[in-house]
């Protein structure tokens, strides 16, 4: 795989990034099999692996740590912090207190003394971004973290973080990890252009629509989401409008004689604002299928037809796990009280 610069970090990464959300009890509980998948990806030229403390309740980081024994210097390790790691409200979020604590846990689970890319998993409106950047700056100064990034940040939050870092003399976020796929193109409007403007590398997640673009979920089909996953991805797998769009894309792929998975992956890495697309195989067979399409290139005619099905900058069906800001999720922030004052 031809390497790409990860923003302005000086780090070179492959156009495919191995995502690990399916490793552990949520997806593939066989640790040895997961290690084999990681090694196969590395042998194929993938040199960046993305994980998070919350994946399978920290089990995933432990699996990655096992796989990297003796091969740590061959891989760019990216992990994330912010999600809840228990019932204690202070064991989550983007506070200095939690970041400084949790990085030690991730280092232990990953069996390493440094993290190449430490990412904030979600925005935390309760925490001043200066507080977060200050903690991350100290971790970089200590050598425990080499570069910092964000995930699921709206364009306005990305710009604010860049401004605060410059104004306060703090380390800058160098990457962003947004959702992006054939059916989730909303980041084309602002997030990807902003990342390009500030020189941020991007590791896009969900290039297969979290399963929608695997070819298994067709309108009128019988494929179902496994029970162990129903708790967190139920709706977008059965949304009729989304399935109608997937059907049109699948027919287009058949006409072009390209597997839908290969067309979906090639689409994401075609965008000049995308550094690497995160693949999340659960089995070796799934990994091999994605690797087989790594050389797929989409011509302008095919890209134009994709644009006709899913307009640029549009989201046909937002993924259930996508981040929504409080202004969207809290009704009180959108309504005034009878006296004309804001309700929250």
The tens-digit pLDDT sequence of the chain (344 residues) is 799 999 999 999 999 999 999 999 999 999 999 999 999 999 999 999 999 999 999 999 999 999 999 999 999 999 999 999 999 999 999 999 999 999 999 999 999 999 999 999 999 999 999 999 999 999 999 999 999 999 999 999 999 999 999 999 999 999 999 999 999 999 999 999 999 999 999 999 999 998 899 987 666 665 555 555 545 555 666 678 888 999 999 999 999 999 999 999 999 999 999 999 999 999 999 999 999 999 999 999 999 999 999 999 998 866 666 788 888 888 888 888 776 666 66
Strand partners, 81: 120
Kind and range of the H or E run holding 286: helix 284-292
- Cα torsion 102, 105, 110, 114: sign: positive
Neighbours of 125 (CB within 10 A): 14
- pTM value is 0.92
CA nearest 132: which of 107, 104, 84, 168?
168
Of the candidate CATH numbers 3.40.50.720, 3.10.129.10, 2.60.40.420, 3.20.20.100, the domain formed by 4-209+258-297 belongs to 3.20.20.100
Identify the three-state secondary structure at position 315: strand
Angle (CA) 83 321 212, round 5°: 140
Give the Cα separation of 274 and 165 in Å (integer): 23
Q: Which sequence positions are flagged as catalytic?
A: 55
**Contact 62/109 with Cβ under 8 angstroms?**
yes
Instruction: Give the separation between CA 63 and CA 68, rounded to whole angstroms.
Output: 9
């Amino acid at each position: 795989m031809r390497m790409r610069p990860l923003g302005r970090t000086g780090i070179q990464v492959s156009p495919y990034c191995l995502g690990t959300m399916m490793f552990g009890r949520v997806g593939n509980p066989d640790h040895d099999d997961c290690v084999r998948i990681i090694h196969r990806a590395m042998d194929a030229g993938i040199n960046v692996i993305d994980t998070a403390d919350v994946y399978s309740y920290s089990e995933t980081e432990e699996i990655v740590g096992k796989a990297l024994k003796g091969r740590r210097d061959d891989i760019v390790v990216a992990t994330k912090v912010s999600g809840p790691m228990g019932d204690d409200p202070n064991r989550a979020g983007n506070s200095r207190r939690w970041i400084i604590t949790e990085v030690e846990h991730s280092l232990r689970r990953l069996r390493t003394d440094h993290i190449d890319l430490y990412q904030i998993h979600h925005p935390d409106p309760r925490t001043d971004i200066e507080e977060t950047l200050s903690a991350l700056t100290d971790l970089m100064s200590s050598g425990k973290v080499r570069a910092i990034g964000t995930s699921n940040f709206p364009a306005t939050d990305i710009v604010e973080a860049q401004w605060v870092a410059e104004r306060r003399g703090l380390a800058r976020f160098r990457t962003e990890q947004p959702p992006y796929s054939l059916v989730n193109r909303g980041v084309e409007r602002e997030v990807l252009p902003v990342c390009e403007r500030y020189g941020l590398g991007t590791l896009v997640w969900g290039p297969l629509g979290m399963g929608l673009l695997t070819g298994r979920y067709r309108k009128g089909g019988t494929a179902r989401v496994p029970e162990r996953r129903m708790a967190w991805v139920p709706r977008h797998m059965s949304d009729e409008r989304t399935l109608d769009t997937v059907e049109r894309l699948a027919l287009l792929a058949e006409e072009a004689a390209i597997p839908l998975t290969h067309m979906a992956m090639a689409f994401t890495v075609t965008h000049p604002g995308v550094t690497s697309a995160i693949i999340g195989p659960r089995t070796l067979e799934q990994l091999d299928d994605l690797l087989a399409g790594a050389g797929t290139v989409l011509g302008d005619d095919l890209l134009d037809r994709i644009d006709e099905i899913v307009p640029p900058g549009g989201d046909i069906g937002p993924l259930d796990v996508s981040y929504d800001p409080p202004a969207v999720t809290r009704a009180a922030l959108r309504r005034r009280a009878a006296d004309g004052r804001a309700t929250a």
